[in-house]
Structure 1
């Protein structure tokens, strides 16, 4: 993997070069995801350092730690460097469906001493404005990103809702805008929802309770778009800097609880088109603004086609299966946006960084 430089201190990093040279999967990045060779030197690009530190407490016997790795994607984000040190055996793996890169650190049953890891990632980003040159998707990619998954169903009530929203509309962007507006108008943010939510699209529609957080609201956006025939996907990541738009849309320093999921939908004339209806609802709740207020009207327009890149994306692996997971266990949620661990005592709660003992820090690097 020539885009990453892995340095080991107390860990052995086994990079699996066959992964980089292997067959292209529909879910993995193609040529359109290649960022410029020197993004940090070009106008509009920013650099961030993200440091994740994890200690597994009360974890006798065999154990595994899984950490999501930032992706290079879409000409708006590129990974410059990744370093890891820790007390276990570490390697980079990819899940079989999406090709999402994950750092896996393992300890065998006889391992002595502390079980800890530190992951440092340096990433460059630039804002997305929805005007990148459109690169066609292949037929295989179109099928992959319109297919249903366990969490994102596209038949029954999901299909019926999408058809009702887009009835009488033929132009693709108008149909997509109708879905986006429907999601903004009909959902609410629930601050009591655990983490970023669960992203159960069918369950939300069947219950009529269209509330939650970003994985729920943007997951609904993705599911309805797929049901309407658009290739669509969630992108899971973390906020790493303050926002120029609203204070509540930024985070810096300790970002252990700043995970955020976004949505993007493929349009023939625009390529992968960025969306974030969940952040409209987040600002409404936390800034106490009405749906028809000037600030929300403006934000609603902005988030149909742009992402402020004070955020770093990891992957789009909904219903991810971690390769070689102990006991074939799955993460607490249907995505890998938080540190995940499996131990002889079970799976620590990824939403409890105090007792799981992990911290994520982010800072901008002057270039």
Structure 2
């Protein structure tokens, strides 16, 4: 599909507005009060508690079966893990870690004679909204090793060649890291687009996307472009892989999860690290999702009243109706017969004697995910 580009006027309006946090991108103060304006203003507030349940049942048994399920492995000022518990008929089952990066997951191994391998994982966690205080800069400590790790290339996010060239062109004239991030956020929204036909959340192969000029994809593609471009100009950045849990408090259907059935609710977000602010929430992919799918017509202008609040709100914030699993790329599934790396762990994974299951086909590789909010 041909790459979609916005006109220069729309791009300049939307990008400039990110520098003015009191205004919705591309609109005047008078226009922001218009009746057609939608609201999207996540603010840091109270914690919410969720119970997320994943059930996997394998009907096509071919030799020994193994399963790897993501669990919440992020402890932060927006998410806290409470507990993980599981049931099933596995020969061995328990929490383990990827040997390369240490990301936590549930690993279950079944005996070859097990007729229907089954496991149910229940994870309890607390989440809350994020919203950066741009005027609240202070001393924010972060392990230098973590920052260094989030400036490195990955298998699908090289930082040289066309990635570096694109990042430099997009940030020409930017003086600070915040200026660079603002420019790259606007660049992704202006040059990339949501492609609903992409399988799953995409692969995040940003070199191919940039070389072909086909910047269509889903969240793991679109936010990967943003993260890779940030790293290429020296700004620590990372993808955050997770799952939408419940509807948006602001009525956006495309920013919501159906807690009774979370099939296809996986969603990757992004963070950048800025001096004095720490890790800051970002999500240009969801801006593009709203542009493409929130209304019957594909919205091409980020200053549109349906899109503008989302573009503003996701530059520095996001809703706590989502769980983050981890932030790791190029991980290894412990005990797997396939010794290659995985780009990310956002879906249930499994294998048997026939090979690796297709985690993007939950109707074939049978798994069901649901969530419920707990009152405390």
Q: TM bucket by the smaller chain?
A: 0.7 to 0.9
Please, which moves more after superposition, 126-135 or 79-88? 126-135
| Counterpart in the other structure of 1:93 | 96
Counterpart mapping for 1:238-249 below 5 A:
238-245=243-250, 246-249=252-255
Q: Answer whether contact 2:45 2:129 (CA < 8 A) is retained.
A: no
Alpha-carbon distance in 2 for matches of 1:356, 1:134: 47
Secondary structure in 2 matching 1:198: coil
Per-residue deviation at 1:321? 1.3
Counterpart mapping for 1:44-59 below 5 A:
44-59=46-61
RMSD over aligned Cα atoms: 1.6
Residues 153-200 of structure 1 show CA distances to partners (whole Å, capped at 9, x for unaligned) of 111110111111111111221111001000011111000000000101
| Counterpart in the other structure of 1:135 | 140
- Give the one of 216, 222, 229 matched to 2:227: 222
Per-residue deviation at 1:361? 0.5
Per-residue deviation at 1:329? 5.0
Per-residue deviation at 1:134? 5.4
Alpha-carbon distance in 2 for matches of 1:112, 1:47: 35
Please identify runs of 4+ aligned residues in structure 1 that moved more than 4 A: none
| Counterpart in the other structure of 1:107 | 110
Counterpart mapping for 1:64-213 below 5 A:
64-88=66-90, 89-109=92-112, 111-131=113-133, 135-213=140-218
Q: Answer whether contact 1:263 1:276 (CA < 8 A) is retained.
A: yes
Structure 2, unaligned stretches of length 5 or more? 1-43
| Counterpart in the other structure of 1:3 | none
Matched, 1:311 2:311: no
| Counterpart in the other structure of 1:325 | 336
Alpha-carbon distance in 1 for matches of 2:365, 2:122: 19
Q: Answer whether contact 1:59 1:345 (CA < 8 A) is retained.
A: no
Per-residue deviation at 1:143? 1.7
Per-residue deviation at 1:363? 1.2
Secondary structure in 1 matching 2:356: coil
Per-residue deviation at 1:43? 5.6
- Give the one of 339, 352, 360 matched to 2:361: 352
- Give the one of 260, 264, 271 matched to 2:278: 271
Aligned positions, number: 323
Alpha-carbon distance in 1 for matches of 2:171, 2:45: 39
Residues 106-154 of structure 1 show CA distances to partners (whole Å, capped at 9, x for unaligned) of 0233x33321000001110010112487533333222211010101111
Secondary structure in 1 matching 2:333: coil
Residues 251-282 of structure 1 show CA distances to partners (whole Å, capped at 9, x for unaligned) of 12210210000010100121001100000010
Alpha-carbon distance in 2 for matches of 1:322, 1:346: 13
Alpha-carbon distance in 2 for matches of 1:72, 1:141: 14
Alpha-carbon distance in 2 for matches of 1:134, 1:114: 53
Q: Answer whether contact 1:148 1:154 (CA < 8 A) is retained.
A: yes
Q: Answer whether contact 2:56 2:367 (CA < 8 A) is retained.
A: yes
| Counterpart in the other structure of 2:348 | 339
Alpha-carbon distance in 2 for matches of 1:46, 1:186: 36
TM-score for the superposition, normalised by structure 2: 0.83
Per-residue deviation at 1:302? 0.6
Alpha-carbon distance in 2 for matches of 1:71, 1:225: 24
Alpha-carbon distance in 1 for matches of 2:141, 2:233: 19
Per-residue deviation at 1:226? 0.4
Q: Answer whether contact 1:84 1:120 (CA < 8 A) is retained.
A: yes
